[in-house]
Amino acid sequence: MNCHDYKAVNSIYLLKNLQVKINATRLQEHFEAMSLIGKIGDTGTCRPTLTVLEKQGFELAASWMKEAGMKAHIDNFGNLIGRLEGKDPTLPVLMMGSHLDSQPYGGRFDGVAGVLCAIEVVKTLIEQGIVPQRSIEVISFADEEGWRFTKGLFGSRGILGKLEPGELERTDKDGITRKQALIDFGCDPAKFKESEYKPGSIFCFLELHIEQGPILDIGKKPVGVVSGISGPLWLTVKLKGMAGHTGSVPMPLRKDALLGAAEIIVAVNEIATQVPGNPTVGTVATINVFPASRNIIAEEAVFTVDLRDIDLDRRNRYEKQLRERIELITQKHKLSYEISEDTNSEPRYCADWIKEIIHDECKALNLDAPELMSGPFHDALALSYACDYGMIFVRCKEGISHNPLEYASYEDLALGAEVLYGTVLKILAR
């Protein structure tokens, strides 16, 4: 895809006419090299967490970390960590990063942008002869996406001691436990404590990410400043009915779990859209049916619910409405049900002082950067409980993400990296 087709003309002009410090050509080469690991089709990526493919991605990223002057290692949570030692290693670290794992049918930029741009920032600091007072760490967090073991932000929650009971026993579709996957990856779950960060040891966290939404693209803005992250609620709903022959069980006597699931799925959409214009989103994206035969009434249906909102009170009201609808629908169809909570996080807002710095850096580059919220969650959400955080968004074509069509121009990414570089300089000077 030609970047000119993607409205990157202004970004090209800015890169050519401003004294940009980061190396845009090198950054593009890194993106293109990483896109080959786990490549599907012409532009897609499948790089599951804690697999050989992610290990290959880590090895490549680690080589760039070392070239940039960092020491690199994989901790016991499966995080890749690059560290540039500061003059005073006792000071809390400035941390940057994102993730290299992808969705099973994902794109080349989600997560990758935050890791590669952070590495480029550190490389540029060294090239500019800057030795920071405090140490800098660049991290590719393990299992941000959460699809393999149905619970994400594993690595970022892990380093903060925020894992929940039973997480190591979660299995993927092949029955492999997270614990076994970690061991196969070279990690030692018995030594998690050794990989945790002490309270107060992280000064702040910065994450650059593609927007994964259409606001910047519609507004023709290469870069945006994130105000906060919506709070995600992930539920798993299991409905239990009675199997029977589809040809012989009369309709009024059926206990059809799939029919009940269908009505609940519609209810999720109705609840999330009841007030037009609200940023609430509700999604059912996975469903498993047993016994899954065309001539047997479904005895069991298990599906996931993803409910998000920047307004926690509203999200809580909608959750209550959904639980009431599930009760009514299951009674109607004579089903039993179970609801398990996989993730529940409140909205988290970026630190004002970091937002001000990012805005200032955008202005210095003649970027009219709007402020916008993030609907998707990121590793920054987990880090927000340990330190101040800030996020930079880079526009992506039509807001498409978690899809091989996901695309961000290399010029926009270079501008985002330059904003990140300037932000790091000002934070280091504090």
Tens-digit pLDDT profile for residues 33-66: 999 999 999 999 999 999 999 999 999 999 999 9
Rounded to whole angstroms, how far apart are CA atoms 61 and 78? Answer: 14
How many residues can be counted in the chain? 430
Helix (H) or strand (E) holding 261: helix 257-272
Q: What is the pLDDT of residues 177-197, one digit of tens each?
A: 999 999 999 999 999 999 999
Measured CA to CA, the distance from residue 406 to residue 420 in angstroms comes to: 22
Confidence of residue 243 (pLDDT cuts 50, 70, 90): very high
Amino acid letter for position 401: S
- What's the pLDDT at 16? 67
Instruction: For residues 397 and 3, give the distance between their C-alpha atoms in angstroms, rounded to a whole number.
Output: 10
Secondary element (H or E) of residue 323: helix 312-332
pLDDT band, residue 2 (cuts 50/70/90): very low
DSSP 100-125: ----TTB-SSTTHHHHHHHHHHHHHH
- The β-bridge partners of 349 are 228
pLDDT higher than 80, residue 15: no
| Mean pLDDT value across the chain | 94
- Cβ-in-10-Å burial (0-12, 13-18, 19+) of 85 comes to middle
Average pLDDT over residues 342-349: 88
Q: Amino acid letter at 132?
A: P
Q: Decide if 348 contacts 228 (C-beta within 8 A).
A: yes
CA atoms within 13 A of residue 370's CA, in its CB half-sphere:
14
Whether the CB-CB separation of 374 and 225 falls below 8 Å is answered with no
CB of 99 within 8 A of CB of 106?
no
Q: What angle do CA 336, 339, 342 make, to 5 degrees?
A: 160
| 60 CB-contact burial (10 Å; exposed 0-12 / middle 13-18 / buried 19+) | middle
| Residue 233: φ, ψ to 5° | -120, 120
**Beta-bridge partner residues of 45:** 39, 106
Higher pLDDT, 310 or 382: 382
In whole angstroms, give the CA distance from residue 82 to residue 72: 4
| pLDDT in the model for residue 230 | 86
- Domains of the chain (ranges; CATH) run 3-230+347-428 (3.40.630.10), 231-343 (3.30.70.360)
In sequence order, which residues have a C-beta less than 8 Å from that of residue 394 and are 6 or more positions away?
A: 113, 208, 209, 210, 211, 216, 222, 223, 224, 408, 412, 413, 415, 416
Using the predicted structure, report yes or no on whether residue 12 has a pLDDT greater than 80. no
Could you report how far apart the first and last alpha carbons of the chain are, in Å? 41
The residue-averaged pLDDT of 359-378 equals 92
Contact assessment for residue 355 and residue 227, using Cβ atoms and an 8 Å cutoff: yes
pLDDT at residue 18, as a whole number? 72
Q: Three-class SS of residue 337?
A: strand
| Predicted confidence (pLDDT) per residue in 101-157, tens digit | 999 999 999 999 999 999 999 999 999 999 999 999 999 999 999 999 989 999 999
The reported pLDDT for the residue numbered 112 is 98
Beta partners for 245?
296
- Considering only CA atoms, which of 341, 318, 307, 344 is closest in space to residue 236? 341
Q: What is the CA radius of gyration of the chain?
A: 23
Under 8 Å between Cβ of 419 and 225: no
pLDDT at 13: 59
Question: In the predicted model, is pLDDT for residue 278 greater than 50?
Answer: yes
Residue 233's DSSP bridge partners are 307, 344
CB 94 within 8 A of CB 428: yes
Q: Give residue 3's pLDDT.
A: 44
Taking 90 as the threshold, does the pLDDT of residue 343 lie above it? no
